[in-house]
Amino acid sequence: MVRQGSCRDATPHTPYSTRRDKRRVKRQKEGHIHITVWRERKTLRREMGENTQDGTPGSWFKITIPYGRKYDKTWLMNSIQSHCSVPFTPVDFHYVKNQARFFVQDAGTASALKDVSYKIWDEKNRKISIFVNPSTVPYSVRYKLEPEEMEQLKLTINKRYDVSQQALDLQSLRFDPDLVGHDIDMILNRRNCMAATLQIIEENHPELLSLNLSNNKLYGLDGLSDIIQMVPTVRILNLSKNELNLVWELNKMKGLDLEELWLEGNPLCDTFPDQPTYISAIKDCFPKLLRLDGQELSPPVITDTDTPCLIKPCKESYKGSDALKSLVLQFLQQYYLIYDSGDRRGLLDAYHEEACFSLAIPSSPEDPALSSLCEYFKESRNMKKPKEPSLCVQPLKHTKHNIVGSLCVLPKTQHDLSSFLVDMWFQTEKVLCFSVNGVFKEVEGKSQGSVRAFTRTFIATPASNSSLCIVNDELFVRDATPTETQSAFSNQEPTLTPSSVPTLSQEQQKMVHAFSTQSGMKLEWSQKCLQDNEWNYTRAGQVFTMLKNEGKIPEEAFKQIT
């Protein structure tokens, strides 16, 4: 028996299918004839009027965006607000599986939001759908803290606030004696508890810089993400010793300009194959991050056309504009400063999110171990060799994380920037293609001291702050010829002796030589620059660039180039 108004015997429910203005209410099978009865669908306002939760007819509505998880919360809400005919305040924004969901109160707002469906396009030219349905009262509203509970929570938070450091310590908040004594159960995974906490912080500590939420059993950050709008000043966030399982939870916090983040003790830390991959994934969420779990991170590659070139010996065959040459040379010098520093993770921000990288070496003998370039054989791509088409694609490295991970396993090097020859192949307003030829030597491993020649072709696009963003990187490595080997590093000064620098370790001596080669300064000046920056190679390079731009480095500090 089918009740009037029911569609249980109809075709299976497809929640994301396009709804018709009328809907099927009765479908019977009489012999071989299917009979379908239709009726006019109730208007949204009529359906809203029949919603009587919490004693308020038609008061709350659930707004659902299918596949909304893949969109940044700030962008999504700003886009919806800009297309909506009336202003609205979303309540309890959160994600359920792949959906984004929030609630609004008022029938007019709900109708206006329904009209926004399919009017927003994402960056891939896909329309975004919005579904509106009557709802029960949202959790955070239904279980909103009583005024006396809010007052006690406020007293507890103020007690934990360090005025001198603008820091708030909310670790293990649920077990705070003051809250437990008043029978207040503050579980920050509950949206009403997190909302009340953020409300008090916004009203009483709007200039907060540091927030410690460790040991609160947090497994999701939906509620905490409101801090981006409510307290955007936070620069230090401690989420250690919680229950965060997936790194995409951190995407909800992308709007914060964090400089320090603590995540140790969360299950997500064990989902990465190694430390570099972990750091790269976190820095992708927070590009300005300087410290992770107490560890100093390498700064990103910085290029600027207003800054003169670090090293003059580089040659270029392209006679283009001075600004363009300055941009490319500066980019290359900053790139190889990081590349040769021993920690190539700082190159992550030099690449586009979907960049591509390939490495090739000359044809090798059947036994790769017999080749002097055996360290590069595994990553090499030669399209003439593989018999299967799929094997031509496998050696390609896609996405900036895979590219930098691949660069990190290549032998450590020291490039001779005075050997560089730069060619510009073509340029448009949006794309620049150039190549660099030169030599380098390996500085560790069984091939230590071996000189290699290379050709590297970059395709890049303009980025912010007059920098370049690599979208394609092709590297070819071969053994250097006897002539190239003999002329390599010919401008380098004699090796440091124990009598001249008795306190330097072998590693520090290598750093001095590398810095001298890349900066063009004499050994003693290079050593001083490194010592003044506590042997932080990247920071020393940035300080050198700044001082040179300001004309504060005397001419006698530099080697004479013949």
Sorted by where each starts, the structural domains of the chain and their CATH numbers stand as 1-41 (no CATH), 44-137 (3.30.70.330), 143-296 (3.80.10.10), 315-334+342-490 (3.10.450.50), 492-562 (1.10.8.10)
- Stretches in the chain below the pLDDT threshold 70: 1-58, 299-321, 363-371, 377-395, 464-466, 491-503, 559-562
Give the per-residue pLDDT at 2. 40
Residue 328 in tokens: 């490319």
For residue 194, what are the contacts with CB-CB under 8 A and spacing of at least 6? 188, 223, 224, 226
Give the per-residue pLDDT at 363. 66
Give the per-residue pLDDT at 50. 43
Give the per-residue pLDDT at 396. 80
Total-model pTM: 0.44
The answer to whether the beta carbons of residues 98 and 71 sit under 8 Å apart is no
Nearest of 25, 26, 122, 12 to residue 66 by alpha carbon? 122
Q: Give CA–CA dist 230/200, Å, rounded.
A: 10
Phi, psi torsion values for 535, nearest 5 degrees? 60, 25
Give the per-residue pLDDT at 547. 81
Give the per-residue pLDDT at 375. 73
The answer to whether the beta carbons of residues 140 and 192 sit under 8 Å apart is yes
Residue with tokens 């912010």: 464
268-298 residue pLDDT tens: 888 877 888 888 888 888 888 899 999 888 7
